[in-house]
């Protein structure tokens, strides 16, 4: 992803979710986690100058009213809910670390042509792709339309998390079930199999729905 778009989308996603400024230090952590070589992108200039030079029409840099060394960025014309830019508002370095792995995979793995992906919440959180004309799984929630991030959006963990949370809220999935602060959920055999496969391997897999249901109970 282009570094400018990365900063822009991360800022809008964070502000839209929290009303807070995205700390400049957090941008560095997020960029590094995505494999972006921030030193190469900045080419010797500070991040504040980079944003001023390239994104001043879309973003504003704000300074903490309690610590002159702390800066953040907000969408143009907006103000942070916390003028102090408290470091407690820093997004986690790995924004998906507490999200169930099967749910992450549902949003990250490409969907084969003429298939629809369904998220299943029982007996455990998992997903299955169903070919056109096949019967959808009982209780399955179609993951499609505006709930599906583009590949570029999915590459940004902050934005990807916002898609996951919006999906969970829309379908009244318990957010504690989506997030996983106490360690991995007890996954079904199907979920464990899915997590072990690469994208290419998943694209070659076709499992009848009765077998899917059996694996989910294991």
Query: How many Å apart are CA 99 and CA 213, to the nearest integer?
Result: 23
Looking at the structure, tell me whether residues 30 and 67 fall in a common domain: yes
* Lowest mean per-residue pLDDT among 2-6, 47-51, 76-80, 150-154: 150-154
Strands of the chain (E only): list them.
22-23, 59-63, 71-75, 115-120, 126-131, 141-143
User: Which of 17-31, 49-63, 160-174 is the most confident on average?
Assistant: 49-63
Better-predicted residue by pLDDT, 102 or 136 = 136
What percent of the chain has a predicted confidence (pLDDT) above 70? 72
The region that residue 35 occupies, defined by phi over 0 for left and psi between -120 and 50 for alpha, beta otherwise, is left
Count up the domains in the chain and report the number. 2
Q: Rounded CA gap, 148 and 154, in Å?
A: 9
Report, as an integer, the average pLDDT of 38-55.
Answer: 89
In the predicted model, what is the mean pLDDT of residues 186-202?
A: 60
**Residue 169 neighbours by CB distance under 10 Å:** 11
Domain co-membership, 108 together with 205: yes
Q: Give dist(CA 22, CA 11) in Å, integer.
A: 6
* Within-domain flag for 55: yes
Whether the per-residue pLDDT at 93 is higher than 60: the answer is no
Assess if residue 95 is contained within a domain: no
| pLDDT reported for residue 182 | 37
User: Which residues form the domain of 195?
Assistant: 101-216
End position of a domain, from candidates 61, 89, 117: 89
Percentage above 90 pLDDT, the chain: 18
pLDDT of residue 55: 95
In 3D space, the residue among 77, 82, 89, 79 whose CA is nearest the CA of residue 24 turns out to be 89
**β-bridge partners, 65:** none
Q: Collapse the DSSP code of 51 into the 3-class scheme (helix H, G, I; strand E, B; otherwise coil) and give the result.
A: helix
Cβ atoms 164, 99 nearer than 8 A: yes
CA distance 118 to 19: 31
The answer as to whether 94 is a domain residue is no
- CA 203 from chain centre, in angstroms, equals 22
Same domain, 118 and 147: yes
Last residue of one domain, picked from the residues 89, 110, 128: 89
More confident residue, 186 or 34: 34
Cβ within 8 Å of residue 187, ≥6 positions away = 101, 102, 124, 125, 126, 195
**210 and 126, same structural domain?**
yes
Predicted TM-score (pTM) of the model is 0.45
Reduce the DSSP state of residue 155 to 3 states and report it: coil
């Amino acid at each position: 992803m282009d570094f400018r778009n990365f900063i822009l989308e991360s800022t809008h996603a964070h502000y839209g979710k929290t009303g807070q400024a995205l700390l400049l230090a957090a941008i560095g952590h997020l960029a590094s986690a995505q494999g972006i070589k921030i030193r190469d992108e900045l080419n010797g200039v500070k991040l504040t100058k980079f944003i001023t030079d390239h994104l001043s029409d879309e973003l504003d840099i704000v300074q903490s009213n309690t610590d002159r060394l702390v800066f953040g960025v907000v969408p143009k014309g907006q103000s942070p809910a916390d003028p102090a830019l408290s470091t407690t508002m820093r997004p986690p370095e790995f924004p998906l670390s507490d999200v169930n792995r099967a749910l992450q995979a549902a949003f990250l793995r490409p969907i084969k042509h003429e298939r629809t992906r369904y998220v299943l919440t029982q007996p455990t959180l998992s997903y299955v792709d169903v070919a056109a004309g096949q019967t959808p799984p009982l209780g399955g929630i179609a993951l499609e339309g505006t709930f599906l991030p583009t590949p570029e959006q999915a590459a940004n963990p902050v934005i990807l998390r916002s898609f996951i949370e919006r999906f969970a809220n829309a379908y009244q999935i318990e957010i504690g079930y989506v997030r996983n602060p106490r360690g991995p959920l007890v996954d079904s055999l199907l979920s464990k199999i899915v997590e072990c496969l690469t994208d290419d391997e998943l694209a070659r897999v076709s499992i009848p729905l009765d077998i899917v249901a059996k694996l989910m109970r294991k």
